């Protein structure tokens, strides 16, 4: 079929129909992509909200453990910053 199309000259109407068809295909693909991106954003937001809710619940159940974890992370980050700053000098 492609060889058949190349052999005969295309009329303006045929070209316009083909352009219109291609435009419709591209428009549909873009709309599908936008819808997929919006759905992924919504799902990501819901997952983040669930994680925040779970973290708050865990902190309320074990406040001393949460404080200990935060303290340990702070010490680790401080140690890394100190180590990196000494190596630069």
Domain boundaries, the chain: 10-88
Decide if 46 contacts 39 (C-beta within 8 A): no
| Interatomic CA distance for residues 83 and 89, integer angstroms | 10
Residue pLDDT, tens place only, 15-41: 888 889 999 999 999 999 999 999 999
pLDDT of residue 89: 60
Decide if 28 contacts 36 (C-beta within 8 A): no
Residue in the block written with tokens 């708050």: 56
pLDDT at 66 exceeding the cut of 80: yes
| Interatomic CA distance for residues 89 and 27, integer angstroms | 57
């Amino acid at each position: 079929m492609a060889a058949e199309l190349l052999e005969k000259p295309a009329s303006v109407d045929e070209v316009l129909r083909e352009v219109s068809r291609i435009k419709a295909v591209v428009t549909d693909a873009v709309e599908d992509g936008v819808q997929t991106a919006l759905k992924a954003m919504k799902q990501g937001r819901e997952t983040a909200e669930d994680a925040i809710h779970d973290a708050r619940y865990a902190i309320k159940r074990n406040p001393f453990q949460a404080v200990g974890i935060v303290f340990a992370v702070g010490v680790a980050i401080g140690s890394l910053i100190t180590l990196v700053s000494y190596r630069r000098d």
